[in-house]
Structure 1
Amino acid sequence: MDEAGAEVQKRHLSTDLEAKMQMLMPEPQIFVERTLALIKPDVVDKEEEIEDIILRSGFLIVQKRKLQFSPEQCSNFYAEQYGKMFFPNLTAYMSSGPLVAMVLARRNAVSYWKELLGPSNSIKARRTHPHSLRAIYGTDELRNALHGSLNIFSAEREIRFMFPEVILEPIPAGQRARDYLNLYVNPTLLAGLTALCKEKPADPMVRTVYQHRVVGFVIRFLCVRIRGLCRKTPPLLQSCAPLATC
């Protein structure tokens, strides 16, 4: 085959690879919902354990800080509870030691975090939702281990309270988000995987293992970069076997 024919064949191969990748890559899905989580003073020593559960439940920890409330700050944060009988005990409890504040993000973040928490009364939670976080880590109705925003409006207010330096700009959605992914993300992933398919170590077994591992690395890297935009990881790890032999 002459040089011109080889070049034509190479272009056809590249076009075929692009077509395969377009079929494998799902339509980008966007999520924008965030909620506030607090690890309360009496369970701060369980911080790493609780964070591990949060991450394994599909949340991204967008912001995190450890702080200690003054009674006045507690009163401002729980202003909606002002006047209730338990309010003095609540402010005393929440200002009794350091706590951890986190902004959590995922699809339906508010409702899913509330579901993980379980009932606000830890005694009741142990009866009705024994696997919930408050059942596991909480003590009673007051010392219930963790806080979650009631709704998206409360979440926005509470996030601004805990992280005043954070600008809650709207994340691109709809066509703007699709344009962003198509312009910056998909071409990078496509170019990387196409380049991988052109690498051909002499040993077929080495080639297959090498390409699968590097494909996984590329996907994980991109997912970390775009996790704030993508609802779920593109399922390319399950679909890239045909590409490994190209």
Structure 2
Amino acid sequence: MEMENIIEKTLVIIKPDAIEYANQIEWAIIDAGFTILNKSRILLTDEQVFEFYKDYEENENFNKLVEYMTSGPIIVMILSKKDAVNALLECLGPSDPEVAREQNPKSLRAKYGKDAFYNGIHCSSSYEEARKEIGFFFSNAIIDPLTDREEVRQFLEKELYPVLTLGLTQLCKEKPEDPILWLGNWLLKNNPNTPIIIEADNE
């Protein structure tokens, strides 16, 4: 089966500087043939921005990025469509809105982005990145299964074991009457990827 015939999921973030245009952006995404599977209005903490953008922490503008992404609420959506990742990249246009206005003036960044830094909208750049980013914001979302044992091992070592070790250590210190219930509640409260969610309003 060709890639363009595969229904994929991808992630889009309407950033704080474009939140006032959220309705227009969402309708444009729907008009482009995407289905919105899940949506949250979120206020990120500094720690969550550090984790989400950790690959950019050596960038000289990283602190500015953290300030930008915590300056107000964002809207995060899981989208689906045939070849969703590439289709959304095309829909949003180049990451620099000034370039987008020249090359693809009807794209969303051309319409709602300001410049290369305040570009209004983020989307996953690859299938692998989409899986990772969806898992970050929607921990209960159904994502395609891990493909091989090595990928499973890497996922467990990076995402599960460190948090579970902390929980079990605290469990030994607390010695609760119901250890299973206590551990379950502790894991829910201490999931490092759980963002602060604000109830959506009618924008």
The answer to whether the superposition gives a TM-score over 0.5 is yes
- Structure 2 residue identity aligned to 1:95: T
Deviation at 1:31, TM superposition (A): 3.5
- Structure 2 residue identity aligned to 1:34: K
Q: Which residue of the partner structure matches residue 61 of structure 1? A: 36
Partner-residue secondary structure (3-state), 1:51? helix
CA–CA distance in structure 1, aligned partners of residues 139 and 12 of structure 2: 15
Larger Rg: 1
TM-score (norm 2): 0.67
The answer on 1:163 being equivalent to 2:132 is no
CA–CA distance in structure 2, aligned partners of residues 51 and 75 of structure 1: 27
What are the residue-to-residue correspondences of 1:1-246 with 2, within 5 Å?
31-169=6-144
CA–CA distance in structure 1, aligned partners of residues 144 and 84 of structure 2: 17
- Structure 2 residue identity aligned to 1:162: F
Deviation at 1:139, TM superposition (A): 0.4
CA–CA distance in structure 1, aligned partners of residues 115 and 76 of structure 2: 21
Q: CA RMSD in A?
A: 1.6
Deviation at 1:46, TM superposition (A): 1.2
- Structure 1 residue identity aligned to 2:77: M
- Structure 2 residue identity aligned to 1:160: G
CA–CA distance in structure 2, aligned partners of residues 167 and 130 of structure 1: 35
- Structure 2 residue identity aligned to 1:98: P
Q: Deviations over 1:17-64 (max 9, x none)?
A: xxxxxxxxxxxxx73311000001111121111111111100000110
Partner-residue secondary structure (3-state), 1:160? helix
Partner-residue secondary structure (3-state), 1:45? helix
CA–CA distance in structure 2, aligned partners of residues 142 and 119 of structure 1: 12
Deviation at 1:82, TM superposition (A): 1.7
- Structure 2 residue identity aligned to 1:94: M
CA–CA distance in structure 1, aligned partners of residues 144 and 16 of structure 2: 30
**How many pairs does the alignment contain?**
142
Deviation at 1:169, TM superposition (A): 4.3
Instruction: Give unpaired runs (5+ residues) of structure 1.
Output: 1-29, 171-246
Partner-residue secondary structure (3-state), 2:82? coil
Deviation at 1:167, TM superposition (A): 2.7
Instruction: Give unpaired runs (5+ residues) of structure 2.
Output: 146-203
- Structure 1 residue identity aligned to 2:101: R
Structure with bigger strand share is 2
CA–CA distance in structure 2, aligned partners of residues 152 and 66 of structure 1: 23
Structure with bigger helix share is 1
CA–CA distance in structure 2, aligned partners of residues 109 and 81 of structure 1: 25
CA–CA distance in structure 1, aligned partners of residues 39 and 45 of structure 2: 19
CA–CA distance in structure 1, aligned partners of residues 55 and 92 of structure 2: 20
CA–CA distance in structure 1, aligned partners of residues 103 and 60 of structure 2: 25
